[in-house]
Structure 1
Amino acid sequence: MVVLKIRDQDNEKRTPLHAAAYLGDAEILELLILSGARVNAKDNKWLTPLHRAVASCSEEAVQVLLKHSADVNARDKNWQTPLHIAAANKAVRCAEALVPLLSNVNVSDRAGRTALHHAAFSGHQEMVRLLLSRGANINAFDKKDRRAIHWAAYMGHIEVVKLLASHGSEVSCKDKKAYTPLHSAASSGMISVVKYLLDLRVDSIHC
């Protein structure tokens, strides 16, 4: 007779709890946890069920895991926390559940990027606003000295660029290649961002 174990892992060390979290299925998560599943189990990429649930954008799944003491500071092999994953996947409701449990929203991943970098890259204004309201460092730089505004400009997220600029982001900041946000926008053909940054430059000249 085959005996199934609640903590069995597949070839990538994912448990049934990871699978349910990937789908964002709160009911199955609750059932598995009450049956003995390890809430903070890590797969071969060091992803926990909480990472997976956040990526699914399921607030209900995230709440179930948090209720059962999921580690909000867990890092995967890229040193990304669930908040990084939420920011990258535009999972605002999930981020709102995570942030009150964090002592610092400015934790950086292996590339030196904070959750704000990821939110700017994905172009999600609501996420950017949330992070800024909770103390995100608007001028934090990654390992290439790029700020959030560099990434927003490069991706052509004009409204995020405007939002960051209005909150005091350094629009003339330079990365390790001496690239400014204007360089970033120009190099990726983002004309609306280029026009906006040029207008800011003209305004500053006439101040």
Structure 2
Amino acid sequence: MKRFFAAAVKGETGPERPSPFSQLVYTSNDSYVIHHGDLRKIHKAASQGQAWKLERMMKKMTMDLNIRDAKKRTALHWACANGHAEVVTLLVDRKCQLDVLDGENRTPLMKALQCQREACANILIDSGADPNIVDVYGNTAVHYAVYSENLSVVVKLLSCGADIEVKNKAGTTPLLLAIREKNNFIYFIFIHSIHQQLLEYKQKISKNSQNSNPEGTSEGTPEEAASLPERTPDKAECSVERTPDE
């Protein structure tokens, strides 16, 4: 009984696990409730932001920085979930794995965004974390950034090649999520990103056509190549306009 009471004091009872089709998948953090019996020393130090303690442990012995706790969470997961940027920097500098998955297939980057730890997320993005990994609910890092209305992180993720067309298990892409949440700024960023991609594609096609036909013997080719990307925005706009009605 005493052990049970002590565990109840150290831990907290999390909310009921949401359905994959619920919006709560973006904000629920029940799997990261601390039960110290489930954690190793490295996880405890990371969750509490004790960078000095981690450094001391690393000097004393060779440590596996990617070792998992009982729910497959690493020290980097714990540091990101609790917003300890100094610990994140330390672990990244010591070459820990950036894209390791926890029990719900969430990366440390996803945890940082889910828990609205922007500083930690920026460190991981700048260090090359993969923005397109999908968790058990079908969400990517961009889904979490959009839901948190973090415009600067969304822009950074897009600049790193994040895919905005991934559908989660509710059938929602980051773009549709921005529309549903009525976040006009993020919606504008997405449209701008799509427009830039279309322009780059058009320029690439035009350049390839010129290289394959430098003397211009076939006058119709550049115009035909340009017609496809020029028609594409209209189709994209139609699908976006229909979404709120649906």
Deviation at 1:153, TM superposition (A): 3.2
Ranges of 4+ aligned residues in structure 1 off by more than 4 Å? 169-174
Name 1:87's counterpart in structure 2: 113
Aligned partner of 1:52: which letter? W
Structure 2 unaligned regions, length at least 5:
1-34, 196-235
User: In 2, Cα distance between the equivalents of 1:78 and 1:183?
Assistant: 33
**In structure 1, the residue corresponding to 2:98 is in which secondary structure?**
coil
Larger radius of gyration: 2
Structure 2 CA distance for partners of 1:25 and 1:11, relative to 1, 3 Å: closer
Name 1:136's counterpart in structure 2: 162
| Identity within the alignment, % | 26
User: In 2, Cα distance between the equivalents of 1:72 and 1:51?
Assistant: 9
Query: Quick check: 2:83–2:112 contact (8 Å CA) kept in 1?
Result: yes
Q: Which residue, out of 21, 34, 42, partners 1:17?
A: 42
Please give the residue correspondences for 1:40-79 in structure 2 after superposition, counting only pairs within 5 Å. 40-79=66-105
User: In 2, Cα distance between the equivalents of 1:83 and 1:90?
Assistant: 10
Name 1:124's counterpart in structure 2: 150
**In structure 2, the residue corresponding to 1:110 is in which secondary structure?**
coil
User: In 2, Cα distance between the equivalents of 1:101 and 1:63?
Assistant: 10
Aligned partner of 1:134: which letter? C
Deviations 1:141-190 (A, max 9, x none): 2233211122233334333233223323956658xxxx93x269xxxxxx
Name 2:218's counterpart in structure 1: none
Name 1:6's counterpart in structure 2: none
Name 1:203's counterpart in structure 2: none
Aligned partner of 2:186: which letter? V
Query: Quick check: 2:131–2:157 contact (8 Å CA) kept in 1?
Result: yes
Deviation at 1:10, TM superposition (A): 4.1
Structure 1 unaligned regions, length at least 5:
1-8, 185-207
**In structure 1, the residue corresponding to 2:37 is in which secondary structure?**
coil
Structure 2 CA distance for partners of 1:35 and 1:154, relative to 1, 3 Å: farther
Aligned partner of 2:111: which letter? I
The answer on 1:33 being equivalent to 2:58 is: yes
Name 1:191's counterpart in structure 2: none
**In structure 2, the residue corresponding to 1:167 is in which secondary structure?**
helix
Deviation at 1:123, TM superposition (A): 0.9
So what's the TM-score if we normalise by structure 2? 0.60
The answer on 1:160 being equivalent to 2:192 is: no
Q: Which residue, out of 86, 103, 108, partners 2:134?
A: 108
Deviation at 1:127, TM superposition (A): 1.0
Query: Quick check: 2:109–2:129 contact (8 Å CA) kept in 1?
Result: no
So what's the TM-score if we normalise by structure 1? 0.70
User: In 1, Cα distance between the equivalents of 2:123 and 2:87?
Assistant: 11
Aligned partner of 2:107: which letter? T
Aligned partner of 1:70: which letter? C
User: In 2, Cα distance between the equivalents of 1:164 and 1:89?
Assistant: 23
Structure 2 CA distance for partners of 1:112 and 1:183, relative to 1, 3 Å: farther
Name the one with the larger helix percent.
2
Deviation at 1:90, TM superposition (A): 3.1
Deviation at 1:35, TM superposition (A): 3.1
TM-align CA RMSD: 2.7
